[in-house]
């Protein structure tokens, strides 16, 4: 099910994400040679509607057209079938960023094959490029506090999320092969997001050494994930919805929301039509959210992230995450010659 290539098919860079399925047919791992090894690994389109990574790669590789790459590059082009439809994933598919620790789906076999290929080749560092489905600042997701991980994240953004769950995402699986982070580039279709992603990928591609110093100014971790059951009619400015949130509720992302803030309207039942789970899976809804008459209210001070107004994505994934601040990690001195520097 995975196609492995050692070249870019002619004309591939001329195709937008929605047309890649016609050329590739399915998930494709493309190995491109470069002047240095091991390879930089870049993953794009694990979610078919998150197109910034592919657009950034198109620009970057077009820029190096006809010249040898400064470093070998391995590119995973993920869910091209969903990209054709402009969706995160199709209803019969698993989430392509939840298959990296195995599972009952054929796509988990694709993930295992990618890991096998890259384990054999070696990975300099791994970058998984995503978009958010609501308005958010650009930020990195990391899974450890190693100096190289913090420094890579800081090169992308002053904001990072320390994410220990889910364990099934690509960047968690790639940790065993080398430094690995996820970069979140805001809403798809924004030129700034493409330019930012392209510049970061290029910086990593031309670097002669990984960075060893620096850390994001703001470091957060997940206190809870908020989910809405499939059977609940959710809306954003929808007077017929059981749970109705503001059409611009994603304006609250990465902002402090005081306790008592009204977040939405509840139009049926006596209980909350959503629940919050901590990273261990414990229900902590009452700690964060409460009902006051027909209003959904913040039960404590909240710091939401990744709020989305896309009902389909809410049901496929979640409404948002509730964050808490992590004490700033101690800055450690870099190893000798560990600065990321241009070359080639």
What is the mean predicted confidence (pLDDT) over 285-310?
Answer: 96
219 CB-near residues (< 8 Å, 6+ apart): 160, 161, 162, 325, 326, 328, 329
Q: CA–CA separation, 175 vs 152, rounded Å?
A: 13
Structure confidence by residue, pLDDT tens digits, 107-157: 999 999 999 999 999 999 999 999 998 899 999 999 999 999 999 999 999
Q: CA–CA separation, 47 vs 302, rounded Å?
A: 28
Number of H helices, E strands in the chain: 9, 17
| Token pair recorded at residue 127 | 């970058």
* Percent of the chain whose pLDDT exceeds 90: 89
Give one DSSP letter per residue of 196-211, joined into a string: HHHHHHHHHHH-SS--
What is the mean predicted confidence (pLDDT) over 65-87?
Answer: 96
**pLDDT band with cut points at 50, 70 and 90 for residue 330:** low
Tell the residue number behind the tokens 């690994």, with chain if given. Answer: 41
246 CB-near residues (< 8 Å, 6+ apart): 236, 237, 264
Cα dihedral 213, 218, 224, 229 sign: negative
263 CB-near residues (< 8 Å, 6+ apart): 245, 249, 257, 289, 295, 296, 297, 298
Look up the pTM and report it.
Answer: 0.89
Cis peptide upstream of residue 166 (ω within 30 degrees of 0): yes
- For residue 340, is pLDDT > 50? no
| Token pair recorded at residue 200 | 């970061």
What is the set of domains in the chain, with CATH numbers? 3-217 (3.40.630.10), 220-325 (no CATH)
- Cβ burial of 79 (10 Å; 0-12, 13-18, 19+) is buried
């Amino acid at each position: 099910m995975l196609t492995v290539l050692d070249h870019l098919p002619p004309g591939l860079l001329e195709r937008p994400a929605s047309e890649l399925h016609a050329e590739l047919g399915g998930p494709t791992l493309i190995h491109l040679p470069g002047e240095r090894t091991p390879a930089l690994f870049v993953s794009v389109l694990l979610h078919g509607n998150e197109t910034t990574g592919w657009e950034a790669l198109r620009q970057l590789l077009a820029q190096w057209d006809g010249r040898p790459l400064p470093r070998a590059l391995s590119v995973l082009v993920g869910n091209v079938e969903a990209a054709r439809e402009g969706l995160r994933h199709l209803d019969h598919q698993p989430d392509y960023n939840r298959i990296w620790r195995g599972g009952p789906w054929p796509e988990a076999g694709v993930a295992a094959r990618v890991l096998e290929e890259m384990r054999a080749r070696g990975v300099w560092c791994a970058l998984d490029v995503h978009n958010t489905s609501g308005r958010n600042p650009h930020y990195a997701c990391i899974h450890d506090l190693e100096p190289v991980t913090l420094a890579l994240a800081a090169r992308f953004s002053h904001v990072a999320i320390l994410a220990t769950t889910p364990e099934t995402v690509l960047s968690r699986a790639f940790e065993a092969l080398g430094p690995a982070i996820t970069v979140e580039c805001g809403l798809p279709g924004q030129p700034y997001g493409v330019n930012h992603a392209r510049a970061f990928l290029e910086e990593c591609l031309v670097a002669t050494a990984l960075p060893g110093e620096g850390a994001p100014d703001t470091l957060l971790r997940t206190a809870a994930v908020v989910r809405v059951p499939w059977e609940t009619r959710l809306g954003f400015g929808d007077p017929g919805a059981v749970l109705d949130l503001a059409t611009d509720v994603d304006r609250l992302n990465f902002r402090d929301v005081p306790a008592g803030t009204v977040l939405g309207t509840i139009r049926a039942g006596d209980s909350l039509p959503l629940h919050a789970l901590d990273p261990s899976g414990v229900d902590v809804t009452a700690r964060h959210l409460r009902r006051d008459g027909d209003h959904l209210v913040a039960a404590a001070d909240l710091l939401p992230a990744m709020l989305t107004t896309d009902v389909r994505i809410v049901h496929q994934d979640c409404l948002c995450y509730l964050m808490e601040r992590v004490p700033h990690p101690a800055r450690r001195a870099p190893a000798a010659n560990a600065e990321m520097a241009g070359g080639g």
